[in-house]
Chains A and B, each alone.
Chain A
Amino acid sequence: MTIELSHFNAALLFALCASVVFGITQRNAARDMLRYGAYCFCMFIGGVIVAAWVMWAIKH
């Protein structure tokens, strides 16, 4: 079976899975885990979007 993911979808899935693990392992309380996981997810996706715009600016 072959999975076809676009670059952005691959980044989304990566961010989701990594954020879940970071959230659970880096905080002690359930509420803090949720908040830290959401923060990591936003930072991952924000980083992807910023990097994409930087690459676009370099090209143009």
Chain B
Amino acid sequence: MANPQSSAALPRNSKAAQQTNSMTMIAPIAAWLLPGLGHIIQRRYVRGLLLMASIFTMFFVGLGMQGKVYSFNTGDLLDILGFVGDVGTGLLYIAARAMDWGIGNIHRAVADYGTKYIVVAGLLNVIAIVDAHHIAIGKKP
């Protein structure tokens, strides 16, 4: 005889599984586009806001120190890696390129720190993206 409890729970479980499946795709994309958003849409509000504050601070302080935002290039290996790091910030990178921010100032020593701040902001966001994905697949609470 079929167990009514288990048959009632089945559609609910499959719906939850569907949501989990879609979240495994949505969370990393959201986290890339806007740092911290991948955690926020999974109701980890404090973690998401702290990640957002940290990555935004690094990115904008880097710009404030007149750091350079790398554009796509096929030249020097370090420039290519700089671009890869910068792209990790998602919409922040796109906005910076669109607004022509981050020209870089070679006459100021601090500007080089700014460049590193911007690259590291992108790399930290990559770690946050992986973390958001781990939450979505249930590997992390």
Residues of A near any B CB (own CB < 8 A): 1-5, 7, 10, 13-14, 16-18, 20-22, 24-25, 28-29
Contacts and interface: CB of A to CB of B under 8 A. Distances in A.
Interface residues of B, number: 24
A29 B141 CA distance: 8
8 contacts: A3-B64, A13-B57, A13-B61, A14-B117, A21-B54, A21-B127, A25-B127, A25-B128
Given A10-B113, A24-B47, A25-B127, A17 B64 contact: no
Contacts of A29: 141
Contacts of A24: 47, 50-51, 128, 131
Contacts of B57: 13, 17
A28 B120 contact: no
A14 B141 CA distance: 27
B64 A2 contact: yes
